Amino acid sequence: MSRRNFLKAGAVAMGLALMAGTALAQDAIKIGLILPMTGPFTSTGKQIAAAAQLYMAQKGTTIAGKKVELIIKDDTGVADVTRRIAQELIVNDKVTAIAGFGLTPLALATAPLATQSKTPMVVMSAATGIITERSPFIVRTSQVVPQIAGPFGEWVAKQGMKRVVTVVTDYGPGHDVEKWFSDVFKANGGQVENLRVPLANPDFSPFLQKVADSKPDALLVFVPSGVGSQFMKQFVERGLDKSGIKLIGTGDVTDDDILNTIGDVALGVVTAHHYSAAHDSPENKAFVEAFKKANNGLRPNFMAVGGYDGMHALYEGLKKTNGAGGEALVEAMKGLAWNSPRGPMSIDKDTRDIIQNVYIRKVEKVGNELFNIEFATIPNVKDPSKAK
């Protein structure tokens, strides 16, 4: 091939690629959903993708006369891949918004892109406080760790408990839970002892022995959900459940997705969280039923509800902007309020973060299944790390 022909072929190929790109961009509203669909965080991705698809199946795929298209991509939970996929979705697929983001570093890696390309970014899972401050284009529909752990500390103190030992996994979210729970609990007159277990080697026996020796009123635990069952089994095996030490935690430990596999050792564990599949409302009943039906009996968990509400925020925003994206879409999503399956929630118009109820629940048996049954509500909690 001569140089001239080569250049010609190149020019034609480039032209075709550009044309294909622009032609598609005008016809559809594309939403890029980036999730860990393989690797250790597969269940996060699976739940969110299923919920987003369910939302679209229920609410239709047309907004302002344009077709809504969902592009699901697997980032394997690795930050630079997340960023590259987001970049490809923005420049090649010309998506109107990006969504998903299973873990904090994945969201943080992508945040500067959202700012640079003015693409709205809906965080459906990652829960560290700082995320929404990293780009004015980020809206969150999952949870913020301090939002759950802080009020829980206050509630536990009000139950008359004086001494609590915390056992958290030694990584970002664990530190957040430890800090926010401890600070608030101490401010309310409690005493706290902090223990950290390594992420890689979850042998809890030395830690549980320490807890048994110090005999606190309660033991607060935060570990990745898969490890939670192991922790509870050892807790029961050592007879700590009969020693009068109450086992408490954030709802991640009694995740709806795996609660039944944890088994009866989880009975009686008290947790604080924003969503339970057993939440008593018509919206949630319909959601759980439809979700199970579409997914082979899989029970939705808090990840699923984050994905479902993320799609709702995008849909309602897009309806207001007639399908336009960019800053207009972010503006349209600010201040949205609705009745989600989790209960009433809204998007804070100042911080673009989520405002929602935090529920105190206890694991109980209903029929043959275990559920987190809510028995107290702390209404409309803002992220305390931003409330200044």
Query: Where on the chain is the footprint of another protein (CB under 8 A)?
Result: 6, 10, 13-14, 17, 21, 35, 37-38, 42, 45-46, 49, 72-74, 77-81, 83-84, 87-88, 90-92, 104-105, 108-109, 112-113, 116-117, 128, 130, 134, 171-172
Cβ distance to another protein smaller for residue 12 or 286: 12
The identity of residue 137, as a single letter, is F
**CA pair distance 311, 31, nearest whole angstrom:** 9
Least distance from C-beta 88 to another protein, angstroms?
A: 5
Least distance from C-beta 85 to another protein, angstroms?
A: 9
Cβ distance to another protein smaller for residue 179 or 342: 179
Please, what sign has the CA dihedral across residues 258, 260, 261, 264? positive
Q: Are 28 and 66 in contact (CB under 8 A)?
A: yes
Least distance from C-beta 382 to another protein, angstroms?
A: 22
**CA pair distance 68, 29, nearest whole angstrom:** 5
Phi, psi of 216 (to 5 degrees): -80, 175
Q: Are 124 and 100 in contact (CB under 8 A)?
A: yes
| Residue whose structure tokens are 């924003």 | 274
Cβ distance to another protein smaller for residue 49 or 305: 49
Least distance from C-beta 36 to another protein, angstroms?
A: 10
Least distance from C-beta 252 to another protein, angstroms?
A: 15
Cβ distance to another protein smaller for residue 134 or 233: 134
| Residue whose structure tokens are 């509630």 | 155
Phi, psi of 167 (to 5 degrees): -120, 110
Least distance from C-beta 47 to another protein, angstroms?
A: 12
201: Cβ contacts below 8 Å, ≥ 6 apart: none
Q: Are 225 and 257 in contact (CB under 8 A)?
A: yes
Q: CA nearest 91: which of 30, 10, 21, 29?
A: 21
Least distance from C-beta 104 to another protein, angstroms?
A: 5
Cβ distance to another protein smaller for residue 60 or 112: 112
Helix (H) or strand (E) holding 145: helix 145-158
Cβ distance to another protein smaller for residue 30 or 73: 73
**CA pair distance 58, 64, nearest whole angstrom:** 17
Cβ distance to another protein smaller for residue 94 or 362: 94
Structure tokens, 249:
């935690």
